[in-house]
Chains A and B, each alone.
Chain A
């Protein structure tokens, strides 16, 4: 009995440390965003400023391009998440259910795409996309982000499909269903959590990407949220309060999305993970 009490007190102590470590930086971000400018430095290290105000949030929402950036980011991230989940789902299914010539090559190619610094692609990609009219366009970003995220999403989806016994769909096919019919009625419902998880991964990755958003799209009309954050850094000063307020706002959709899917994430990964 005493050992159990001891164990659980350690358990809760460690858990609280983790929660504190995870939440504190976000708390600080919010605190800075709520601190009025005149107190930003004089009360910089206080845990809570003596006065709070919503002026930074108000400014960001009404006097800046942020609603536009927000909309652009939402469009890009959602489209990318849906597109990648679909094509990575198909590819993962193919890798999981078939042995075919060229399969090792395909896997090797996908691994290679994970191995180099993406900075290296900036210049070639710009030269490639500009003549196609895909710079300064949200479509261009969606295509680029889809390519970045497709390999990892494919590995993920493959592990979900691996977790579902082949016999299930074979039985359905013997009963006269086409492969697609079997896929739709049997496999799809079972992998929905996994697809939600993959979509969530891709969404957050697309939501926070900065380098290519900055390099490929220079007009504010096609800028995304992270680029917008940079716009608070002007040549002479940085308006940190507004920047942090915008940052807090940027966190909201990513966090909501992530909170919604993280349960599926663990459940979806569960069965396929150990097979590796």
Chain B
């Protein structure tokens, strides 16, 4: 990396050897800024944060900071909130990512055909993504509120609910609220990535297929899906990990309640860190979540490799 400043000079007196070194250094020069940035600002604090998992870090207690070994993890194993939080994380992540993906893909398929007004429609349906998540949570909390929002009345009129109570206040249904908000906010992400992938599928493939007599559904199954699969796999992977870590909507809309019924691991970490100010314990939970997500990512990546290899 040290010889990086040499690259780009083209004086003839530069010897072949020096030029080779310069060329070898080139990729490092390009990637260095991002590498340095993520190491200094993300990975160093991450390691410090992980070390907190083995220490007693109470924000308001000046005597804390001592090494406690695996105490936090023992506490974690016995913590009844964790099991519920894990279950909620599975539901929250699974349902919202699946529905975001299905609705996003359908939207992409609809937008993939030319029709009058398409550009305006595209602009409108993508806008939710630009809304700050804090505001998304607030907005949907209002919509679900029977005093200031229309949804309870409508759902009652459609016989979807038995009363016009706030579903966010009922432990049995509260998680639905943040999930709906997450779907609203996340559809554009999947729509944009799927649409981009759809538009790069050569049109002649479809023409050839329809000459061979394949119907729309058959074309979708035999051309669209297999060609979308690699992109879809990566997108879903990144999104799942991201959504599993995403606590904003839950914190804003239900704060994990009522009675911890909507607490996910991510929102529980938030609660432990900022309500109880116990950063040590919070870090140990985060470490477990990180480990679980790493396992998940490795599984998806190897599945994808298997799939891509089989295709060709």
> For the complex, what is the distance from the CA of A14 to the CA of B106, rounded to whole Å?
9
A interface SS class: helix
Within 8 A of B (CB), among A80-108: 87-88, 90-91, 93-95, 97-98, 100, 102-103, 106
**B262 interfacial by beta-carbon distance below 8 Å:** no
Q: Are A265 and B192 in contact (CB under 8 A)?
A: yes
**A19 interfacial by beta-carbon distance below 8 Å:** yes
Q: Are B125 and A22 in contact (CB under 8 A)?
A: yes
Contact string, A144-177, partner B, CB cutoff 8 A, digits 1/0?
1011101110100000000000000000000000
A109 to chain B, nearest CB (A): 7
Q: Are B153 and A266 in contact (CB under 8 A)?
A: no
**A45 interfacial by beta-carbon distance below 8 Å:** yes
Nearest residue (CB) in A for B242 is A114
Within 8 A of A (CB), among B118-172: 119, 121-136, 138-140, 142-143, 145-150, 153
Contact of A15 among B59, B110, B266 (CB under 8 A): B110
Chain A residue total in the interface (Cβ 8 A): 95
> For the complex, what is the distance from the CA of A32 to the CA of B220, rounded to whole Å?
43
Contact string, A120-161, partner B, CB cutoff 8 A, digits 1/0?
111111011000000000000001101110111010000000
The 4 closest A-B pairs by CB, nearest first: A208-B132, A94-B30, A269-B196, A147-B41
A-B contact pairs, 28 of them (CB 8 A): A18-B187, A22-B128, A25-B139, A28-B139, A32-B142, A32-B148, A109-B35, A112-B294, A113-B38, A113-B42, A123-B279, A127-B48, A128-B45, A146-B41, A178-B10, A179-B7, A208-B132, A229-B135, A230-B134, A247-B138, A250-B132, A258-B129, A259-B127, A273-B200, A274-B201, A274-B227, A274-B228, A276-B308
Using CB atoms and an 8 Å cutoff, list the residues of chain A in contact with chain B: 8, 11-12, 14-15, 18-19, 21-23, 25-26, 28-29, 32, 40-41, 44-45, 47, 87-88, 90-91, 93-95, 97-98, 100, 102-103, 106, 109-125, 127-128, 143-144, 146-148, 150-152, 154, 178-180, 204, 207-208, 210-211, 225-226, 229-230, 240, 243, 247, 250-251, 254-255, 257-259, 262-263, 265-266, 268-271, 273-276
Known: A119-B247, A119-B269. 17 other contacts (CB 8 A): A14-B106, A23-B127, A26-B128, A44-B145, A91-B33, A115-B241, A118-B245, A124-B48, A128-B48, A151-B38, A178-B10, A208-B131, A240-B148, A247-B139, A266-B122, A269-B197, A274-B200
